[in-house]
Amino acid sequence: MPEYKAPLRDIKFVMNELLDSEQHYANLEGAEDATPDMVDAIIGEGAKFCEQVLSPLNQVGDTEGCTWSEDGVKTPTGFKEAYQQYVEGGWPSMTADPNYGGQGLPSSLGIVMSEMVGTSNWSFGMYPGLSHGATNTIEAHGTEEQKQTYLTKLISGEWTGTMCLTEPHCGSDLGTLRTKAEPNADGTYAITGTKIFISAGEHDMAENIVHIVLARLPGAPEGTKGISLFIVPKNLPNEDGSSGERNAVSCGSIEHKMGIHGSPTCTMDYAGAKGWLIGGENAGMRCMFTMMNSARLNVGV
């Protein structure tokens, strides 16, 4: 079985000699805890997790893959347990806002961890990677109530996130998007439509999945100017913040792919699912690019 060995010498050379991270962190507001000893300890522990936990699962994920049934999507053997270790280690919250449970460490440390996770097991890395995009979007455009409800759970890693853009008839041309959002009497919206190619759209690793969904309001302008963005959770949050009753969203199938079999690429069906508008009416494209830019950086890494 191929083994992954984190290139710590190269990583530390880039951080310390090329980027002078010690001086950078010393001048960075909120990065007081990122001392050289702390940074070395974090990178070292991250390397151990990737080498000892994620790397051995890489081949398992590729050969076993994810399996779909009407009850949901089952991830490969060991993935669920590895994700729990990932959460317990505090890795999802490392660079997040302390006001919502994050540790507030510099984003560059998060990039180092993302690189090691992705290199040791890219399929596994897709799950927290999508969550980071959802987190960034809610943080940038959500209301305070939405942040309290969803950010705390996404940052802790208890819940994961997705971005739901593509539809069967439109790939890059989102202006022809058909998923609709009908207003409900309580201020929420009923989301109806089908999305395809949704990475980590359904799985058994977290108790809830927060979908960030593009949809069109009644009477909205044509094209991309008439698209809005909605938070549509798999399970509706209870008043105490816990995961509650099932929302009207389901995974109809998963794709058969050439690679990254340990990460399900899902067809998601929304049948009047309850959603919450984020970022204002017809502002979906602008808000979505917060999420897309995060995804592009992760793909670049």
Q: Once rounded to an integer, what is the mean pLDDT over residues 194-214?
A: 97
Where in the sequence is the domain holding 32, given as residue range(s)? 8-137
Q: Are 188 and 127 in the same domain?
A: no
Is residue 121 within 8 A of residue 58, CB to CB? The reply is yes
pLDDT tens-place string over residues 248-270: 999 999 999 999 999 999 999 99
Residues 6+ apart with CB under 8 A from 45: 89
Q: Once rounded to an integer, what is the mean pLDDT over residues 171-188?
A: 91
Count how many domains the chain has.
2
Q: Are 27 and 114 in the same domain?
A: yes
Q: Are 113 and 52 in the same domain?
A: yes
Residue ranges with strand state E in the chain = 67-69, 72-74, 159-164, 180-183, 189-199, 208-215, 228-233, 235-237, 243-246, 249-254, 265-278
- Is 298 within the bounds of a domain? no
Q: Are 196 and 277 in the same domain?
A: yes
Domain boundary residue, one of 122, 137, 152: 137
pLDDT tens-place string over residues 272-299: 999 999 999 999 988 988 877 877 877 7
- Is 263 within the bounds of a domain? yes
- Is 46 within the bounds of a domain? yes
At residue 156 the predicted structure's pLDDT band, cuts being 50, 70 and 90, is very high
Count of all residues that appear for the chain in the document = 301
- Is 296 within the bounds of a domain? no
Q: Are 13 and 97 in the same domain?
A: yes
Q: Are 36 and 123 in the same domain?
A: yes
Q: Are 131 and 169 in the same domain?
A: no
pLDDT tens-place string over residues 26-84: 888 878 888 999 999 999 999 999 999 999 999 999 999 999 999 999 999 999 999 99
- Is 13 within the bounds of a domain? yes
Q: Give the pLDDT of residue 16.
A: 92
Domain boundary residue, one of 137, 171, 196: 137
At residue 213 the predicted structure's pLDDT band, cuts being 50, 70 and 90, is very high
- Is 209 within the bounds of a domain? yes
Q: Give the pLDDT of residue 1.
A: 66
Residue 236: give its domain's CATH number. Answer: 2.40.110.20
| Residue 170 pLDDT > 90 | no
Q: Give the pLDDT of residue 85.
A: 98
Q: Give the pLDDT of residue 111.
A: 92
